[in-house]
Amino acid sequence: MTFSHGDAVRVASRPHDGHHRTPSYLKGKLGIVERVHESFPNPETRAYAEDGLPPQRRLYLIRFDQHAVWVDYDGPSGDGLLADVFEHWLEMPA
Amino acid sequence: MSHDHHDHDHSHDPVTTSGEPPVATRVRALEELLVEKNILQRDEILQRIDWLASRRPGDGARLVARAWVDDSFRERLLEDARQAALELGLDPGPSPVVVALENTDTVHHMVVCTLCSCYPKALLGPPPAWYKSLPYRSRAVSDPRGVLREFGLTLEENVELRVVDSTADIRYLVVPRRPSGTDSLDEEALAALVTRDSMIGVSQPLADA
């Protein structure tokens, strides 16, 4: 497990051909690790009839500031967006 | 002889199984392929459909009502919702992890799956059609307060709204706030106030009648 609760992370902005579970609207966005989930088979290979192994990929719940995700978000500054992101889609922010 | 398009009553749509929406045709073709390739048996598909159709939001409501009357159960539910469901004799389903998120007077959670329609089906039953619709899936993340207003819920500015996009293997269940004025209600009466939508986070539980 690379990241811990409270760590700052950036969602990788790389494109990916084929099935993956990283929503495009979060690619390149900065967030904070809210929860460390367990590990799961990689959906990117499992989607193509493989077993998703090895290795299992660690899943994290990441919290984003809504105003950092949407430039025109019109809610209060404390509003958050949380999404589960697999470890291989997370980077240390520069 | 001329062909008058305004003088006959049959349609010129492409020939399909009568009235079947295109998505149903696609699903049927997929099912036939999976069975033909021996990946799934038709019985398994039927059993899975039966299981899904047997699930009810009342199960989730029992978890919430117990959490409202029993603080230590509430803690166990927030720690491990799957174990908490088993403790009440409920079937938490094949999803490996269910996470319960608690609404308070300062934090409100609402759940969406922008990528498809991930949903805690074992505890809430099949998801409503709007949950699977593109407008909900896109606007719940970009304009969540507007979506909540359309559901009749105006969230105060000092409440932190946390939209949870269930993008992967975790299924999220919202534990709504217990309505005021319900101190005299027992667990069963409380469970009747816990609606499906309040466990998705798009509304509050019913008020005591």
Per-residue pLDDT tens over the stretch B144-165: 999 999 999 999 999 999 999 9
| Nearest chain B Cα distance for residue A45, angstroms | 14
In the prediction, which pLDDT does A52 show? 63
Report, as an integer, the average pLDDT of B100-115.
97
Kindly list the distances between the CA atom of residue B69 and the CA atoms of B58, B84, B102, B191, in Å, as whole numbers in the listed order: 17, 14, 14, 11
Contact A41, A51 (CB under 8 A): yes
Nearest to A58 by CA among A33, A44, A41: A41
pLDDT of A36 higher than 50: yes
Q: Residue B158's closest chain A neighbor by CA?
A: A76
Question: Does the B56-200 domain belong in CATH 3.40.50.2300?
Answer: no
Where does A8-91 sit in CATH, by number? 2.30.30.50
- β-strands B170-175, A57-65: how paired? unpaired
Pick B3 or B179 by higher pLDDT: B179
Q: Do B142 and A73 touch (CB under 8 A)?
A: yes
Confidence band (pLDDT; 50, 70, 90) for B1?
Answer: very low
> Cα-atom radius of gyration of chain B, to the nearest Å?
22
Among the listed residues B2, B95, B116, B198, the single catalytic one is B116
ipTM of the complex: 0.93
Our answer to whether residue B166 is catalytic in this structure is no
Delimiting residues of CATH 3.90.330.10 domain(s) in chain B: 56-200
The secondary structure of A26-37, three-state, reads HCCCEEEEEEEE
* Distance from C-alpha of B193 to C-alpha of B195, rounded to nearest angstrom: 6
CB-CB under 8 Å, A81 with B162? yes
B144–chain A nearest CA distance, Å: 9
User: Are the CB atoms for B141 and B163 separated by under 8 Å?
Assistant: yes
Residue with structure tokens 């950092």?
A68
Among B20-24, B54-58, B190-194, the minimum mean pLDDT is found in: B20-24
Write down the mean pLDDT value for chain B: 91
Which positions ≥6 away from B42 have C-beta within 8 Å?
B31, B35
Q: Where are the domains of chain A?
A: 8-91
Please indicate whether, in this complex, the C-beta atoms of B162 and A25 are within 8 angstroms of each other. Answer: no
